[in-house]
Structure 1
Amino acid sequence: MQRRTTPDAGRRSEASRRAILTAAFELAGEVGYAKLSVEGIAARAGVGKQTIYRWWPSKGAVLFDAFLSLSQGQDGQEGLPDTGDLEADLKVVLRATVDEFADPRYDRPLRALTIEIMNDPELAALYAERLDGPMKELKKARLRAAQQAGHLPEDLDLDVAVDLIWGPLLSRWLHRSGPLTHAYADTLVETALHGLLPR
């Protein structure tokens, strides 16, 4: 007698979820956020519109989860590199950020998500809780290790330090106010670590 297997609902749901996130990310890059719709995401993912609304309240929330899934799956590494050379480690991280901003696959969807976060307080709170906050803690942890190693002042305000190092990069990308290059990333790190006054 042939044994009948029951469908794995969990596996099917996860496959649908991944298809939806992929569709949202791809469509945001293709048509822009203004033309992105739940209907379009559902059609691209091969699911019903109600399936999306069961898991997410808006297209912005779907796009945010798409980015969150992407950022969690890039290299599996937690934390910033720590070779003992803070300047070199920060340059590696900021150069990687420059490369991500310059990648056309990410630029348009990321800009769309940024605009939506600015206009949607609930999405902004979700972003702060699930992505921006945890990432800031990882950055502060690397700077804290440098403090403990005597490479940074003990009384340094780590929140301000993170803003000084990463803020200008985000600002230049967001406002298209100048070229984003590895040389610019290196200069940011050097200026943040060594200051504006003559040595």
Structure 2
Amino acid sequence: MSSHRTPDSSRRSDRSRRAIYDAALALVGETGYARTTIEGIAARAGVGKQTIYRWWPSKAAVLMEAFLDLAARQAEEAAGAGEGDAGEGGGGHGIPDTGDLAADLKSVLRATVDELNDPVTEAPTRALAAEGIVDPVLGAQFVERLLDPSMQLYVTRLRAAQEAGDLRADVDPRVALELLIAPLTHRWLLRTLPLTHAYADTIVDYALGGLSPRP
């Protein structure tokens, strides 16, 4: 006798969501955010556009969730490979604390450079950053869900450095981390010069050493 199983709707929904995530990321990378449409995502994913509208209000919302899912998967892969660095996208598990603040910051900034230069993540990151400027709701979500988690990792490491006496007690960690992240973001957004590990190392040296001559 043949057995008839009831289709697993949750599994089908998971497959559809995964297909939509992959389609959104692929299209943004291939054609850019402006030319990516809900219809295009639906066609690429093999679903009806009403399926997408049932789950998300806009293509920006689709891309946001797809990017968060990608970051989570990359973090799992990195953890499985024994890597613990935190990138700009907030996918890491923490900034290393080896007792050498400069080395730890250089390590995580180099990981950030690699992430920003990664063709898989560069296009959606640029799209979300740009759209967040003109869409305040998306911008707030971008900060809350993507930027703040990774920023908190820097704050935690810098506070540990303060407790160890490796950083001035009067330094505001939130301001200090901007001295590290902002130059990378500025060069990446404007594409003025190549984003390299050497540049990341220099940022750390300048931020920790200051620009004024020492006696």
Instruction: Pick the TM interval, shorter chain.
Output: over 0.9
* SS of alignment partner, residue 74 of structure 2: coil
Q: Does 1:110 align with 2:96?
A: no
Distance 2:177 2:116 in 1: 18
- 1:84 match: 99
Amino acid at match of 1:183: A
Q: Does 1:161 align with 2:176?
A: yes
Q: Where does the alignment leave 5 or more consecutive residues of structure 1 unmatched?
A: none
Amino acid at match of 1:46: G
TM-score relative to the length of structure 1: 0.94
Distance 1:72 1:82 in 2: 22
Q: Where does the alignment leave 5 or more consecutive residues of structure 2 unmatched?
A: 77-91
- 1:127 match: 142
Distance 2:148 2:138 in 1: 13
Percent identity over paired residues: 60
TM-score relative to the length of structure 2: 0.87
69-78 vs 33-42, which moves further: 69-78
Tell me the matched-pair count. 199
Q: Does 1:101 align with 2:116?
A: yes
Instruction: Kindly indicate whether the alpha-carbon contact (under 8 Å) linking 2:129 and 2:139 is maintained by their aligned counterparts in 1.
Output: no
Distance 1:61 1:161 in 2: 31
Which portions of structure 1, spanning 4 or more consecutive aligned residues, are displaced by more than 6 angstroms? none
Output the aligned Cα RMSD. Answer: 1.4
Q: Does 1:73 align with 2:73?
A: yes
- 1:143 match: 158
- CA shift, 1:182, in A, is 0.8
Distance 1:101 1:190 in 2: 21
Q: Does 1:193 align with 2:208?
A: yes
- CA shift, 1:54, in A, is 1.4
Amino acid at match of 2:62: V
Distance 1:78 1:100 in 2: 15
- CA shift, 1:55, in A, is 1.4
Distance 1:95 1:116 in 2: 26
Amino acid at match of 2:17: R
* SS of alignment partner, residue 153 of structure 1: coil
Distance 1:149 1:141 in 2: 12
- CA shift, 1:75, in A, is 2.7
* SS of alignment partner, residue 193 of structure 2: coil
Superposed CA deviations along residues 131-176 of structure 1, whole A, max 9, x for unmatched, are 1112211221111111122211222101111111111100111011
